[in-house]
């Protein structure tokens, strides 16, 4: 085909012969739209041209948006890091009622996965959904990048070096010092706080949890003389009765309880097969209730009456607040199992 730049592909093209021009126009012929019917049958060549253009444009647009990242090797590579080979570190996860010993999988120093630590005598290698999802919080771009100082009704961001200077100056000046923490299970953290309070006699540690167990502690102290959190052996229980306690979801130590609970819920063989029977009395659906053999629905206001009814059925006493007939029949069935 002849161009204005002087390039030609044949003598016919050079001489601009009519036969060549006609064949060149028919090489990529496009059918005209039928104005009367509105039908237009796209040819195979046109379809391939449009698809090729669209694919090329999409590829070009996508490639333009990808930032260039350079892979830079270590200047001094740590001995324990091999590119492409994962490293595992033992740690622990504590959040609210969740506790589990974990192994953190890392690649080049970046945590990417959490697994349970099978060496733990408490959780036995189990984890929770919160523990698995906690890795994502490390890469949340909304995390605070600096320390914050409350100034009136605002929080002013400040560098860590400036925070260290202010804290050291306040500690040296004396005065009352308060350290606010949630409940701490780590012996290392407890030892560090003990050393801090020993160095600064005016310091005291205030423990605060958004979901407090103070009522549970007070109840055990009143009933048994010790303000402690109980520990339940669900793996040894033949009958389990729970009144609103979601011990597989959020109550006390769900990871530990789920591991023990599952032991008595599996049939290993036909001979001597035994399973625990689980009754759940609750006012709303829970993880524990969804796994129960028998689930008794009551109103929140009837929870105390249900506990009294079970106590009376076992001990042979009478009295107490009234309970609806359906719930009362279910409580009698539970008492017969016990």
pLDDT category, 291, cuts 50, 70, 90?
A: very high
pLDDT(43) > 70: no
pLDDT of residue 179: 94
The average pLDDT across 55-67 equals 65
> Is residue 159 domain-resident?
no
> Is residue 73 domain-resident?
no
Indicate whether 193 and 247 sit together in one domain: no
Indicate whether 253 and 218 sit together in one domain: yes
Note the pLDDT tens digit of each residue in 137-168.
Answer: 999 888 888 888 888 888 888 898 999 999 99
Domain boundary among 137, 165, 199: 137
pLDDT of residue 45: 74
The average pLDDT across 199-203 equals 92
> Is residue 142 domain-resident?
no
The average pLDDT across 258-276 equals 82
The average pLDDT across 92-120 equals 89
Encoded tokens for 115: 């697994």
- In terms of average pLDDT, the best of 19-23, 129-133, 158-162, 280-284 is 280-284
Indicate whether 218 and 204 sit together in one domain: no
pLDDT(63) > 70: no
Q: Please give the residue that has the higher pLDDT: either 321 or 165.
A: 165
pLDDT category, 271, cuts 50, 70, 90?
A: confident
pLDDT of residue 279: 96
Rounded-to-integer distance, Cα 144 and Cα 157, Å: 9
The average pLDDT across 201-208 equals 92
> Is residue 80 domain-resident?
no
Domain that holds residue 180: 175-210
pLDDT(67) > 90: no
pLDDT category, 121, cuts 50, 70, 90?
A: confident
CATH number where 112 lies:
2.20.25
Indicate whether 235 and 294 sit together in one domain: yes
> Is residue 247 domain-resident?
yes
> Is residue 150 domain-resident?
no
pLDDT of residue 39: 54
> Is residue 148 domain-resident?
no
pLDDT category, 300, cuts 50, 70, 90?
A: very high
> Is residue 168 domain-resident?
no
Indicate whether 218 and 310 sit together in one domain: yes
Q: Please give the residue that has the higher pLDDT: either 281 or 182.
A: 281
pLDDT of residue 239: 95
């Amino acid at each position: 085909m002849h161009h204005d730049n002087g390039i030609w592909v044949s003598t016919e093209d050079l001489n601009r012969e009519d036969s060549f021009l006609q064949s060149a126009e028919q090489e990529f012929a496009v059918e005209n739209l039928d104005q009367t019917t509105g039908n237009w049958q796209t040819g195979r060549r046109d379809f391939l041209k449009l698809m090729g253009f669209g694919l090329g444009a999409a590829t070009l647009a996508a490639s333009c948006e990808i930032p260039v990242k350079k892979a830079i090797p270590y200047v001094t590579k740590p001995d324990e890091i091999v590119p492409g080979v994962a490293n595992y570190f033992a740690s622990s996860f504590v959040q609210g009622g969740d506790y589990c010993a974990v192994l953190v999988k890392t690649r080049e120093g970046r945590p990417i996965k959490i697994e349970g630590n099978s060496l733990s005598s408490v959780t036995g290698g189990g984890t929770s959904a919160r523990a698995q999802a906690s890795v994502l919080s490390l890469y949340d771009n909304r995390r605070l990048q600096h320390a914050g100082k409350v100034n009136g009704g605002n929080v002013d961001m400040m560098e860590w070096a400036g925070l260290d200077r202010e804290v050291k100056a306040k500690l040296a000046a004396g005065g009352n010092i308060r350290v606010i923490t949630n409940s701490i299970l780590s012996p290392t953290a407890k030892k560090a706080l003990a050393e801090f309070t020993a160095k600064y006699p005016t310091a005291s540690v205030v423990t605060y949890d958004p979901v407090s167990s103070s009522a549970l502690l007070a109840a055990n102290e009143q009933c048994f003389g010790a303000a402690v959190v109980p520990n339940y052996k669900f793996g040894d229980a033949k009958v389990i009765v729970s009144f609103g306690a979601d011990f597989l979801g959020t109550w006390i130590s769900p990871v530990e309880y789920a591991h023990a609970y599952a032991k008595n819920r599996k049939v290993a063989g036909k001979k001597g097969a035994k399973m625990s029977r689980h009754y759940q009395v609750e006012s709303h659906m829970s993880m524990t209730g969804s796994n129960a053999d028998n689930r008794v629905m009551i109103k929140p206001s009837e929870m105390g009456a249900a506990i009294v009814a079970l106590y009376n059925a076992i001990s042979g006493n009478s009295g107490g607040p009234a309970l609806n007939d359906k719930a009362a029949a279910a409580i009698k069935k539970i008492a017969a199992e016990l």
